[in-house]
Structure 1
Amino acid sequence: MSITVFFGFFILGLMFHSALATSTYPAADDATELIVRWRLENARVSRISGVALSISGLVFAWFSAWFATVIHRTGRVQAALVTFAGGLLSALGLLLSGVLQWVAQRPENIAEAPVLHLVHQITFVLGGPMVVISLAPFVAVGGIALMSAKLLPGWLGWTGVVLGVLALGSVVMLLPEEGSLTYLVPLGRFLSLLWLTVTAVVLARHRRRGASRT
């Protein structure tokens, strides 16, 4: 299942940035000196993580196409387009965030601390807020469409709506200059991805039951 493959590469990318690095991956608003030191100490880890995150973005685009196709088959064409657009934007954010790890590790960029800090912040915005905010229409509209088509139980459909609102609400983390609300990004991301995993399992079982009746 594509969502399982996605999680494999996504978690691998996060693992290289945390468990296998010499220290915790610097936040976007950390001191420039800390970011430069981390990049110098973890060049290979950063590049491998970038590859894993880039692949996870491509796989998520694949999953988004499947998810939108399921909705499209119910006759809800507009909902299918909205969910696919949201999923595609999330996938693009992951892909670009991963690719930019190579840019951040270029010696000429590390030598220019302000440039490195800017690239580091861009990777965070693409892989964090862009991914999570784009997940909002994906899970909310998808939840409503699949619930209306009787492909999801009511509680799971409404959970998608609530998580969509939470994911959309993570945009407020862009307001404080000091980044005090960045915790909203991982909260919205992991809860939404957990919902998508559960939903994918439910849809797969529903499809198998339908095939067994024919």
Structure 2
Amino acid sequence: MSVQSPSTNRAAERVATAPAREPGGTVSIAVFFLLFILGVMFNSVFATATYPAPDDPADLILEWRRDNGDVARLSGAALSVAALVFTWFCSWLASVIHRTGRTQAAFVVFAGGLFSALGLFLCGVLQWVAQRPETLAEMPVLRVVHQIAFILGGPLVVTSLAPIVAVGGIALLRAGLLHKWLGYVGVALGVICLGSVVMLIPEDGSLAFLVPIGRFLSLLWLTVVAVVLTRRVGRVRP
């Protein structure tokens, strides 16, 4: 039979008896997923062709932009709002960690959330910039804007997820709010998210597949954690 330390028990008790804000995690991550999936769908399902990769020929990028202006702007709007919702989720997660007495970990998680949300927000905003007539008229400018949008919405977002899942997983594990395997998975995902920076090394972007792996696995982990914390934190009311 496992015995938790007195400090762990006190931390878990502080969370359990804190003012209830438990639904915020599941609601915010659900709304985020809805908006994020809508943003992705606008650029894939409703577009005339697949969204161009950052290293695709300039002519292909220009053709896609000219044929899917409304789709790109709608996608950008959905992603920008999704970024704001993600800050809501990260503030909720940071508040749960803070109530366990791990203030520094809470700040790290919240900072990671802000960086990740900022990257996604700017990626969404740049979809509007990329569709401006003056941008489409200048092929080099269009290509640069298209690539910057990818960097902000890809490597920056995913790399910033690393402190959220890794530090958050360790803090919640030590507070006795997560199972060991779930906390260790968070640490492993943090390493994977940091690895997404490696895709910037090859000029041809051949390692770009690391970005969606880190993104979706980390978001899935955060969803599971939100459900677990909602059940555990909300079990005892003040």
Structure 2 match to 1:149: 175
Q: C-alpha distance in 2, partners of 1:37/1:113?
A: 11
Q: Which has the higher helix share?
A: 1
- Give the 3-state SS of the residue equivalent to 2:51 in structure 1: coil
Percent identity over the alignment is: 67
Superposed counterparts of 1:91-102, under 5 Å: 91-102=117-128
Q: Does 1:66 align with 2:119?
A: no
Structure 1 match to 2:165: 139
Superposed counterparts of 1:62-211, under 5 Å: 62-211=88-237
Structure 1 match to 2:22: none
Q: Which amino acid aligns with 1:15?
A: M
Larger radius of gyration: 2
Q: C-alpha distance in 2, partners of 1:77/1:172?
A: 31
Q: C-alpha distance in 2, partners of 1:18/1:97?
A: 16
Residue 9 of structure 1 and its aligned partner are, at CA, apart by: 0.3
Structure 2 match to 1:51: 77
Q: C-alpha distance in 2, partners of 1:169/1:43?
A: 33
Q: C-alpha distance in 2, partners of 1:210/1:46?
A: 46
Q: C-alpha distance in 1, partners of 2:214/2:80?
A: 20
Using the size of structure 2 for normalisation, the TM-score is 0.88
- Give the 3-state SS of the residue equivalent to 1:210 in structure 2: coil
Using the size of structure 1 for normalisation, the TM-score is 0.98
Between 1 and 2, higher relative CO (CA 8 Å, sep ≥ 6) is seen in 2
Q: Which amino acid aligns with 2:171?
A: A
Superposed counterparts of 1:34-45, under 5 Å: 34-45=60-71
Residue 68 of structure 1 and its aligned partner are, at CA, apart by: 0.5
Unaligned runs of 5+ in 2: 1-26
What is the root-mean-square deviation in Å for CA atoms of aligned residues? 0.6
Q: C-alpha distance in 2, partners of 1:132/1:142?
A: 15
Residue 207 of structure 1 and its aligned partner are, at CA, apart by: 1.8
Residue 48 of structure 1 and its aligned partner are, at CA, apart by: 0.2
- Give the 3-state SS of the residue equivalent to 2:236 in structure 1: helix
Q: Deviations over 1:116-137 (max 9, x none)?
A: 0000000000000000000001
Structure 2 match to 1:23: 49
Q: C-alpha distance in 1, partners of 2:115/2:100?
A: 23
Q: C-alpha distance in 2, partners of 1:184/1:91?
A: 19
- Give the 3-state SS of the residue equivalent to 2:49 in structure 1: coil
Q: C-alpha distance in 1, partners of 2:185/2:71?
A: 36
Q: Does 1:8 align with 2:34?
A: yes
Q: C-alpha distance in 1, partners of 2:169/2:69?
A: 40
Residue 208 of structure 1 and its aligned partner are, at CA, apart by: 2.3
Residue 57 of structure 1 and its aligned partner are, at CA, apart by: 0.3
Residue 210 of structure 1 and its aligned partner are, at CA, apart by: 2.1
- Give the 3-state SS of the residue equivalent to 1:23 in structure 2: coil
Q: Which runs of 4+ in 1 moved over 2 A?
A: none
